A and B are shown apart, each in its own frame.
Chain A
Amino acid sequence: MHSRCAALLFGLLAVSARADVVVGSKVFTESVVLGELATQLLQHEGIPATHQRELGGTTILWSGMLRGDIQCYPEYTGTLRAEIFAKQSLDSDEALRQAVKRSHVWASPALGFNNTYVLGMRKDVAQRLSVTRMSDLAAQPQLRLAFSNEFLERADGWPGVRAAYALPQEGVRGMAHDLAYRALASNSIDITDLYSTDAEIAYYDLLALEDDRRFFPEYAALFVCRDDVGEDVRQALSKLAGRIDAETMARMNARAKLEREPEAQVAGEFARDRLGIRLQSHRDDRAVRIGRRTLEHLAMVGLSLGAAVILALPLGVLAYRAPRFGRIAFVVADVLQTVPALALLVFLIPWLGIGYAPAIVALFLYSLLPILRNTHAGLADIPRDLRESAEALGLSAFARLRFVELPLAARSILAGIKTAAVINVGTATLGALIGAGGYGQPILTGIRLDDLGLILEGAIPAALLALIAQAFFGALERRWVRAK
């Protein structure tokens, strides 16, 4: 709801939230392809639908769906079982269906492939050590393990694997899934978690170790939707039942990821060849994309910065006039500043959902400290004789503030706002992780696809925007603040 209101505020930017059905996807290629496929299928059935791609991990998607920020997203039975309903032991498929239903979620029929976790290593290394099965790893304590962060924490991930196979390896690191392939290829690590339909397994000539103790559950792909979506949505998505086998999915992943075909095109061709339906898939050209992201980015930075000025400036004045309050305000702002940006974003999701609202609130909180601190410092640095001269003139406290103290502190206050703006431009790239778009979107996709061009498509405008913000406040300073 909040993200809806926020999105409406931006008019132009409200691309996604206005549509009736919002399909989300996780931040890996297969999820994006499936999200794109579902979106096109719905559109083909005449249901207005948009795709909010690369929203983040399971927690963000699931809670975003329950809140209504998105309606549907692709999921896997194993993830539902081990991650979302981890506290209940849902052994049978029927028990799982019931649990999903109780959460007011509808689950589509399985799509036809099982994308289970596997542990992978380079074939040459595996051969040298004579490792073919996961149980062989117990005798190789020297192997360097690195897993995706989600796998590292999940019950059906590393903790469970380690217990089931009594593995001795220490110093296990967490890293992004897409980067782990490159780390394997460059011999920086020996083993990582893979998805069995990943295109890279063949590409990098990796060996998927046999799960000889049958530890990993089945990860049958399906769509989950809020149960208030219409019958037409359910019917449309049910058309995919059993239509995608593991080989097909792996090939689509390879095309999207290794051959750099847009996910929309990959999904479109699948629909044409396998379902016999022709979907329109269009792709904005680069200028339009950058323009849209610039607006998204500016909206995030502008709104958060504006709100921060409105709150932090009076607080800075108050902190200067009432030092005891000032000390408390500084402690609070300092603590806020130390919360990692990603943690803060995820922390805000239960209240604000996904999209603009949590991104703006997080950026707002980060902007408070520099403005508060510089307002206070600017006022405290006013020479005593000037403060006393203003008092001796018989000006009221408000008039002293308005005509003497704030103008004298203006240089410092503007510097604080400038600092906050520049930090904000950088931090706002993380907004893409929770569906707020902006320059972070191509960076995220670029990291996923190992595409430097895409990364630069986000990074260069972000750097430029930071420079422009700096120049803008510099000009403001020269115009408003007279040098002594």
Chain B
Amino acid sequence: MIWFESVTHEYAHAVAVRDVTLHVGGGATTALIGPSGCGKSTLLKLIVGLAWPQRGRVIVRDEPVSPDNIARIRHRTGYVIQSGGLFPHLTTRDNVTLAARHLKRDEDWIDRRVNELIELVQLPTEVLGRFPGDLSGGQRQRVSLMRALMLDPDLLLLDEPLGALDPMVRHELQDELRSLFARLQKSVLLVTHDLAEAAFFAETIVLMREGRIVQQGSYRDLVDAPADDFVRAFLQAQRAHAVPAAHA
């Protein structure tokens, strides 16, 4: 589905991705994990052309990403970010259907699709007429997911989609999303800094540090055979977070 071939992307003052080579298979969920600033979000942006490699190339569905095919790639890729990225001046319906209307999709098709999606993400229909400012955090992320799924993409990129939600809502949405991914059979690339969330969603976990991939494998692989001290420390920190030592 996606190949990163020796990709490097540098920002003005920092290196975000350093010589990364990575293959993400189709139809499965892969989690990108690591500390803040490790380059995991930049990998997603490289796929949809919000960042461009300075060295190496990114291949999506057998095509190297380029300005010529980026519009097509974007239409077949859903992208959800932590803040939701919903346009505050548009209603839920207008947010969700903006791209479809831009592509001059049939009105009936659009209506049918909206009805399917609102059922899928389990939102009441009156939400369609509301503006993002009037929605709860959880509702906003559901709407953002509707927007990402509108054109029925085969690839979903989720950048900390649950990061801004309170723990109860987050837990509930985790369950829903996992069953949704299983049902939809799409390729999902999920960025998170939470190892438990990564393990919950993904068959494959890619652990990054300072722009490089440190280890790639299942959760079991990481726990049983950590590649180095950093992986060990990262696992340790996540477990300590889950069960604070003082109460143990």
Residue from B75, B87, B102, B131 within 8 A of A389 (CB atoms): B87
Residue from B74, B89, B90, B131 within 8 A of A392 (CB atoms): B74
Q: Are B83 and A393 interface neighbours, CB within 8 A?
A: no
Which of A200-208, A282-290, A370-378, A399-407 is near enough to bind chain B?
A: A399-407
CB under 8 Å from chain A, chain B span 79-95 = 79, 81, 83, 85-90
B interface, size bucket: 20 to 34
A483 to B88: give the CA distance in the assembly, Å: 8
Known pairs A399-B102, A403-B98, A483-B133; A392 contacts B79 (CB<8 A):
yes
A interface, size bucket: 20 to 34
Task: Give the number of residue pairs across the A-B interface with Cβ within 8 Å.
Answer: 62
A261 to B233: give the CA distance in the assembly, Å: 97
Residues of A within 8 A of B70 (CB): 394
A385 to B147: give the CA distance in the assembly, Å: 15
- In the complex, the chain A residue whose C-beta lies closest to that of B75 is A394
- In the complex, the chain B residue whose C-beta lies closest to that of A483 is B133
CB under 8 Å from chain A, chain B span 16-63 = 45, 48-50
Residues of A within 8 A of B110 (CB): none
A399 to B102: give the CA distance in the assembly, Å: 7
Q: Are B102 and A388 interface neighbours, CB within 8 A?
A: no
Is B123 part of the binding interface, using a Cβ–Cβ cutoff of 8 Å?
no
Is A166 part of the binding interface, using a Cβ–Cβ cutoff of 8 Å?
no
Is B225 part of the binding interface, using a Cβ–Cβ cutoff of 8 Å?
no
- In the complex, the chain B residue whose C-beta lies closest to that of A400 is B102
Known pairs A391-B50, A396-B102; A408 contacts B88 (CB<8 A):
yes
Closest Cβ of chain B to A230, distance in Å, is 63
Is B117 part of the binding interface, using a Cβ–Cβ cutoff of 8 Å?
no
Is A478 part of the binding interface, using a Cβ–Cβ cutoff of 8 Å?
no
Known pairs A389-B79, A392-B48, A394-B75; A484 contacts B99 (CB<8 A):
no
Known pairs A392-B50, A482-B131; A408 contacts B85 (CB<8 A):
no
A403 to B102: give the CA distance in the assembly, Å: 10
A386 to B77: give the CA distance in the assembly, Å: 17
Q: Are B133 and A484 interface neighbours, CB within 8 A?
A: yes
Residues of A within 8 A of B133 (CB): 483-484
- In the complex, the chain A residue whose C-beta lies closest to that of B71 is A394
Residues of A within 8 A of B48 (CB): 391-392
Is A395 part of the binding interface, using a Cβ–Cβ cutoff of 8 Å?
yes
A389 to B95: give the CA distance in the assembly, Å: 11
- In the complex, the chain B residue whose C-beta lies closest to that of A389 is B85
- In the complex, the chain A residue whose C-beta lies closest to that of B133 is A484
CB under 8 Å from chain A, chain B span 159-180 = none
Residues of B within 8 A of A389 (CB): 79, 81, 85-87
A364 to B76: give the CA distance in the assembly, Å: 47
Interface of A is mostly: helix
A392 to B98: give the CA distance in the assembly, Å: 12
Is A131 part of the binding interface, using a Cβ–Cβ cutoff of 8 Å?
no
CB under 8 Å from chain B, chain A span 450-484 = 481-484
Is A390 part of the binding interface, using a Cβ–Cβ cutoff of 8 Å?
yes
Known pairs A388-B50, A482-B131, A484-B133; A395 contacts B98 (CB<8 A):
yes
Closest Cβ of chain B to A392, distance in Å, is 4
Which of A385, A408, A483 gathers most chain B CB within 10 Å? A385
Residue from B72, B89, B99 within 8 A of A393 (CB atoms): B99
Q: Are B98 and A385 interface neighbours, CB within 8 A?
A: no
- Interface 1/0 per residue, A391-430 and B, CB below 8 Å: 1111110010001100110100000000000000000000
- In the complex, the chain B residue whose C-beta lies closest to that of A405 is B87
Q: Are A393 and B88 interface neighbours, CB within 8 A?
A: no
Q: Are B81 and A385 interface neighbours, CB within 8 A?
A: yes
Residues of A within 8 A of B88 (CB): 408, 482, 484
CB under 8 Å from chain B, chain A span 216-264 = none
Q: Are A393 and B50 interface neighbours, CB within 8 A?
A: no
CB under 8 Å from chain A, chain B span 86-127 = 86-90, 98-99, 102
- In the complex, the chain B residue whose C-beta lies closest to that of A398 is B102
Known pairs A393-B74, A484-B133; A404 contacts B102 (CB<8 A):
no
Q: Are A394 and B74 interface neighbours, CB within 8 A?
A: yes
Closest Cβ of chain B to A394, distance in Å, is 3
Residues of A within 8 A of B50 (CB): 388, 391-392
Residues of A within 8 A of B98 (CB): 393, 395, 403
Residues of B within 8 A of A410 (CB): 89
Q: Are B87 and A404 interface neighbours, CB within 8 A?
A: yes
A320 to B145: give the CA distance in the assembly, Å: 30
Q: Are A386 and B87 interface neighbours, CB within 8 A?
A: yes
Residues of A within 8 A of B90 (CB): 403, 407
Residues of B within 8 A of A399 (CB): 102
- In the complex, the chain A residue whose C-beta lies closest to that of B51 is A388
A410 to B87: give the CA distance in the assembly, Å: 13
Residues of B within 8 A of A395 (CB): 98-99, 102
Residues of A within 8 A of B131 (CB): 482
> Which 5 A-B pairs rank lowest in CB-CB distance, beginning with the nearest?
A389-B85, A394-B74, A392-B79, A393-B99, A484-B88
Chain A contact residues, CB within 8 Å of chain B: 385-386, 388-396, 399, 403-404, 407-408, 410, 481-484
New A-B pairs, 9, CB < 8 Å, besides A391-B49, A394-B99, A395-B102: A386-B87, A392-B85, A393-B79, A393-B98, A393-B102, A393-B147, A408-B88, A410-B89, A482-B131
20 A-B residue pairs with CB within 8 Å: A385-B83, A386-B87, A389-B79, A389-B85, A391-B49, A391-B74, A392-B79, A392-B85, A393-B79, A393-B98, A393-B99, A393-B147, A396-B71, A399-B102, A403-B102, A407-B89, A408-B88, A410-B89, A482-B88, A483-B133
